[in-house]
Structure 1
Amino acid sequence: MDQSLKSPDLIGLDEAFHALHDASRTEPAADLALRLDRLRRLRSAISKNERRFAEAISADFGHRSAVETTIAETLFLLTEIKHAKGHLKRWMTPRPIPTMVQFWPAKNRLYPQPLGVIGIMAPWNYPLQLTLAPAIGAIAAGNRVMIKPSELTPRFAALLKEIVAAAFAPTEMIVTGIADEIAKAFASLPFDHLVFTGSTRVGRLVAEAAGRNLTPVTLELGGKSPAIVDRSADLDEAAERITYGKLLNAGQTCIAPDYALVPDERLQEFAGKLQGHVRRMFGTDPQNKDYTSIISERHYARLEALLADAAGKGATIMQTADAGDAAWKGSRKFPPTIVVGATPDMAIMQEEIFGPVLPVIGYREAAEPIAFVNAHERPLALYWFGKDEAAREAVLSRTVSGGVTINDCLFHITQVNQPFGGVGPSGSGAYHGEWGFNAFSKLKPVFYRSPFNRLADLYPPYGAKIARLEKML
C-alpha cells in the first residue's frame, strides 16, 4: 500500500517492525548475558505489576477471578522464565551430532541461532499468559518481539504497552495497537516467525496472510476437546476434576473439556455429581468472586443461543440458576450448565463452546468414545479418566490430539519440559520450555571436514573409485 494512503497507526506499525527487523540484521546476536538480562527484566515487569495486570484483566472481563489470574497467568509465566533462565546456557550451546562413518573423522554440530523478529498475535481469554509465554521462548532464543494484544482486552493492552515500553528498548520488544486495521496489517508483515492464538476460523486467515511472505507460523487454535470417563473411573473424582477444568475462567479456555462421554448406565449419576461439585466450588451467588464473567455481551448471547437450540431439540438443561436472571446477566456471569442428551444435530456439538456449558453424552460399548472422537476434527486436548490400563492405552494409541491429561484436566499445558500445541484444525507447531527455544531458533547444521578424510575420492575423474565407494557403503 502507498504510504500516503496509510493511517498514522499503520505507518507507525511499519516503522516499528522495520526498526526491529533492521536491528536483528545489523546488530550481533544477543549473547547469554543479554538474553538473561531480558528475561530478568520481563520477570521483574510481571512481578512488580501483578496487581495492575489482574485489575486491568478483571475490568476487561467485567469480573475476572484474581486467584485464577495468579494461577493461570502470573505463576505460569514466572515458572516458564525460571525454567528458561536455568537451562538457557545449555540450550544455546552448539550440539554435537553423530557423523556418518564414511566421513570420519569429520564432525557435525547444530548451531542454534535467533530467527530475527517474532510476531505474537494474542487472544483475550488469557491475555497475559498467551501474550508473554511465546515471548519468553522468543527472547530466550535471542529474537526481537512484536506483540499485538486482543481488541477485547483494551485496558490490559494499554497497560502491557506501557510496561513493555518501560522495560525494553523499541528494538527489543514492542506492543502495538489493537484496532482491526492493525490486526490485518500485523499478520501481513514479513516476520521471521508468527505465533497466533485464537479461533480456527481466524487462524486460517492469519496463515493465509503469513503465507504470502512464506512466514512460518505457530497456530494455537482450539476445537472440541473431549473428556472420556471410562467404566473403571472413580465417578465422583472424575466429576470433580472435569468441573474444575470446565469452569476455570468460566470455560473460556482453549483446552477446557468441551464435552464428556460417560457410560450410559451412569449418565444421570454423573450429571448429578457434576452439579454437586458446581455448587460446592462456586455456590449459586453471581457475586462470587471466584467465578469469572463472560468476556462480552455478544459471547453471552451466543451461549444463550446454544442452550436454546439444544433445549429445542430435546436436551435436558441443568443449571444452578437461570442465565436470563438479571443478577447473572447484569454481571455477565453465565451460570454453570450441564446439557444431558446432546445430539450431533445440535449447535452445541458443532462448534467450540468456550463457556461454562458441558454436554454429557452416553455410550454403551468401550469402543464408542474412540470412534466418536475420530469422527470429528482432531482436538487440542483430550482427557481420559479411569484405572483400566488397557482401555487407557487404546485411547492413547487410537486417537490423535494436541495433548492429553490422564485422570485430570488442563495440567499437560503446565509441564515446561513438554511441548504444547495442536494438530490439524486445532493448531500447528508447539512451544514452551526448550520446545519454544527450538521453535524460534534456526538450528543450523554445520559440517567440519577433517583433513584426513578421503572426500577427494568423490571428485572427477570418477573411474572405478565410485564403484568401490558404492560397494563400501
Structure 2
Amino acid sequence: MTTQTLTRQDADKAVLQNYLDKQRSAYLANPAPSYQQRVQDLRTLAQLLREQQESIIQAISNDYGNRAREEILLYDIYPALSGIKETIKRLKKWMKPRGRHTDFKSYPLSKNRVVPQPLGVIGVIVPWNFPINLSFSPLTNIFAAGNQAMVKMSTNSKHLAELLSKVCEQYFPEEKLVFIPDADEIGPVFSSLKFDHLIFTGSSNTGRAVMRSAAENLTPVTLELGGKSPAIVGPDYPVKKAAEQLIYWKLVNAGQICVNVDYLFLPEEHLEEFIEHAKHYVQKRYPDLDGQDYTSIIDDTSYQRIWATLDDAKAKGANAIDLSAVKLDRDNKLRKFPPHILTNVDGEMLAMQREIFGPLLPIITYSKPEEVIDYINARPRPLAIYPYTHDKTLQDLYINKVMSGGVSVNNCVLHVGQHDIPFGGVGESGMGHYHGYEGFLTFSKLRPIFYQGPIDLLKLLRPPYGKLSTRVIDFMLKLTR
C-alpha cells in the first residue's frame, strides 16, 4: 500500500470521524428524543423525498445510463414514502414501555419494565440498485427509534450521492443525518468506524468484509445480502399466469434485484408452454428494449459479467432462448441486455453457482417436490423462495421444509414491500431484520428495568448463613416444582 493511499485513507477517516463525533455529541445531549421530535424527523424525510423527487429521478437514471422513471417511482420512492407514513401511524405504540411479569413470591410488590431507547449513531451502507428505498427505509426505522445516522452511498450512485449530500443540509443538520458519497477507499474506512449499529445491503463477499471491520469495534451488524432465490411452479398453477408474473419480475430493473427470482423449478411437461408465454410477454411489453421502459445494466463490468455468464452456460451445454423480438448488439451503448431463458442447466455453470443479478432465467425441470426441497437445502439458504401453487398442503410443504429469509406465495418480491412484517436474510443471505416494528427494535436498545418494591426478601439471605437462610432457600426451591 502506498504512502499516498495511506494519506488518503487517513484524511477520509478524519472527515468521517468528525461527522461521527458530532453525531455522538448530539445523541448524548438528547439521548431520548420525544415522540413529537421523532415524528418531525420522519416528516422531514418525506418532505426531502417529495421536494427533490424530480432531481432524484434524474440522478438515478443518470447513474444507470437509463432507468425507467416508473420503476424509480414505484420501487424506490413510493415504498419509502408509504413506509414513513405507516411508521408514524404506529410509532406511539412502539415507543411505549412494556410491563413484564415479576415473580411475586420472590420479589413481592416489585416491578419489571422493558423500555426501548435509542442506540446512538447508526451507519448505513447502501447499494446502487434501489438507492432511495434501501437508504430511506432503514432511515425510517433509525429515526423512529430516535437515532442519528451516517449514510454511505455506492460508487455506482455517484450522481444521486452528490445530490443527496448537497440537499440534505437543507433539511437536517449534519449532527442528525449526513450522506457520504463513496470512493474506492471510503468503504473499508466507513465500516471500521465505531458505530452503535451498522446496516449493510449488498453482496455476500462485501458483507463478510464489513462484518470483519465491524468486529474490531464489537459493532453489531445487520446484513442484507443476496443469494440464489428460487421460484417453484406447482403442477396445478396456470402456466401463462406464472410466466407473466415471473418474467415481469425478472425484467424489473433489468433483473438487478437482490430478492429477484434467480432460477426456476418447472414441471417438465410445462416447459415449452412456459417459454412461449414468456416470449409473448416480453415482445408485447417491451417491443423496443432500447426504449425508456427497459432499464440499463448499471455499469460495463456488470454488463460484461452477464454476457460471460450467458456464454459460459452455452459453452457447457445450456440452451439459451432470447425472448426479445428485436435483437440487441453486445456493444449496446446503454448496456441494455436481452432477456434470456436458460434450459438444460447444471451445477458446473456460472449461472447456477453465483447470483445472476440480470435478465437471465435458468429453468430446472422436476417431477416431485422432494427433488426441489433436496436441491435447495443442499445449497446456501436463499434470501427468498417463491412457491406458485394453490395447493395449501404443497405451499406449507415448501415453507416448512425449506428455510429462507422470506417467502412470497404465488408472486415474487412482494413480501419485501409489506410494512408490518420484517425483512431479512438467513445464513449466507444475511442476518437481522428491518422494516416495521422489527426494524424499530433493531435500532433500539430494549432496556430491562427492575424496580425494587418495599419488601426485600434477600435481606433474609445475607451471611452469615444459618438455619433461617437454609429454610428460606429450601422453601424457594420447593416453589419451583
TM-score with structure 2 setting the length = 0.95
- Give the secondary structure class of the aligned counterpart of 1:329: coil
- Give the secondary structure class of the aligned counterpart of 2:362: strand
- Contact conserved, 2:283 with 2:324, CA < 8 A, in 1? no
Structure 1 residues 5 and 407, CA, compared in 2 at 3 Å: closer, same or farther? closer
Structure 1 CA distance, aligned partners of 2:316 and 2:374? 24
Deviates more, 1:447-456 or 1:436-445: 447-456
Deviations 1:283-320 (A, max 9, x none): 2x123221100000111100000010111111111113
- Give the secondary structure class of the aligned counterpart of 2:277: helix
Structure 2 CA distance, aligned partners of 1:292 and 1:378? 29
- Give the secondary structure class of the aligned counterpart of 1:262: strand
Structure 2 CA distance, aligned partners of 1:334 and 1:6? 36
1:430 paired with 2:437, answer: no
Deviations 1:341-364 (A, max 9, x none): 111111100000000110011012
Structure 1 residues 274 and 23, CA, compared in 2 at 3 Å: closer, same or farther? same
TM superposition shift of 1:446? 0.8
Q: 1:50 aligns with which of 31, 48, 53?
A: 53
TM superposition shift of 1:97? 1.6
- Give the secondary structure class of the aligned counterpart of 2:130: coil
TM superposition shift of 1:453? 5.6
1:75 paired with 2:53, answer: no
Runs of 4+ with deviation above 6 angstroms: none
The residue correspondences of 1:207-246 to structure 2 (distance < 5 A) are: 207-246=211-250
- The number of aligned residues is 472
Which residue of 2 is the match for residue 335 of structure 1? 338
Q: 2:397 aligns with which of 394, 397, 401?
A: 394
Structure 2 CA distance, aligned partners of 1:262 and 1:4? 55
1:368 paired with 2:371, answer: yes
Quick one: which amino acid aligns to residue 135 of structure 2? T
- Contact conserved, 2:158 with 2:181, CA < 8 A, in 1? no
- Contact conserved, 1:271 with 1:340, CA < 8 A, in 2? no
Quick one: which amino acid aligns to residue 471 of structure 2? A
Quick one: which amino acid aligns to residue 467 of structure 1? D
1:150 paired with 2:154, answer: yes
Quick one: which amino acid aligns to residue 422 of structure 1? G
- Contact conserved, 1:107 with 1:449, CA < 8 A, in 2? yes
Deviations 1:256-304 (A, max 9, x none): 0000000112122212222222222222x12322110000011110000
Deviations 1:440-463 (A, max 9, x none): 000001112221463434434323
Structure 1 residues 419 and 21, CA, compared in 2 at 3 Å: closer, same or farther? same
Quick one: which amino acid aligns to residue 353 of structure 1? I
- Give the secondary structure class of the aligned counterpart of 2:408: strand
Structure 2 CA distance, aligned partners of 1:449 and 1:370? 53
1:203 paired with 2:207, answer: yes
Structure 2 CA distance, aligned partners of 1:5 and 1:407? 50
- Contact conserved, 2:327 with 2:338, CA < 8 A, in 1? no
1:403 paired with 2:406, answer: yes
- Give the secondary structure class of the aligned counterpart of 1:261: strand
- Contact conserved, 1:323 with 1:329, CA < 8 A, in 2? no
TM superposition shift of 1:159? 0.7
Q: 1:354 aligns with which of 353, 357, 369?
A: 357
Quick one: which amino acid aligns to residue 446 of structure 1? I
The residue correspondences of 1:207-356 to structure 2 (distance < 5 A) are: 207-283=211-287, 285-321=288-324, 325-326=328-329, 329-356=332-359
TM superposition shift of 1:21? 1.6
TM superposition shift of 1:128? 0.9
Structure 2 CA distance, aligned partners of 1:280 and 1:97? 58
1:466 paired with 2:469, answer: no
- Contact conserved, 2:278 with 2:323, CA < 8 A, in 1? no
- Contact conserved, 1:226 with 1:257, CA < 8 A, in 2? yes
1:177 paired with 2:184, answer: no
- Give the secondary structure class of the aligned counterpart of 2:12: helix
Structure 1 residues 5 and 252, CA, compared in 2 at 3 Å: closer, same or farther? closer
TM superposition shift of 1:91? 1.0
TM superposition shift of 1:322? 9.4
Deviations 1:212-260 (A, max 9, x none): 1000000000000000011111111111111122111110000000000
Quick one: which amino acid aligns to residue 448 of structure 2? P
1:440 paired with 2:455, answer: no
Which residue of 1 is the match for residue 194 of structure 2? 190
- Contact conserved, 1:286 with 1:328, CA < 8 A, in 2? no
TM superposition shift of 1:101? 4.1
- Contact conserved, 2:12 with 2:189, CA < 8 A, in 1? no
TM-score with structure 1 setting the length = 0.96
TM superposition shift of 1:378? 0.3
Structure 2 CA distance, aligned partners of 1:238 and 1:325? 26
Structure 2 CA distance, aligned partners of 1:105 and 1:83? 38
Which residue of 2 is the match for residue 127 of structure 1? 131
Structure 2 CA distance, aligned partners of 1:445 and 1:20? 26
Structure 1 CA distance, aligned partners of 2:262 and 2:310? 14
How much identity, in percent, do the aligned residues show?
A: 40
- Give the secondary structure class of the aligned counterpart of 2:423: coil
TM superposition shift of 1:10? 3.0
Gaps of 5+ in 1: none
- Contact conserved, 1:286 with 1:331, CA < 8 A, in 2? no
Quick one: which amino acid aligns to residue 47 of structure 2? S
Structure 1 residues 174 and 164, CA, compared in 2 at 3 Å: closer, same or farther? same
Structure 2 CA distance, aligned partners of 1:393 and 1:453? 51
1:89 paired with 2:89, answer: no
RMSD, matched Cα: 1.9
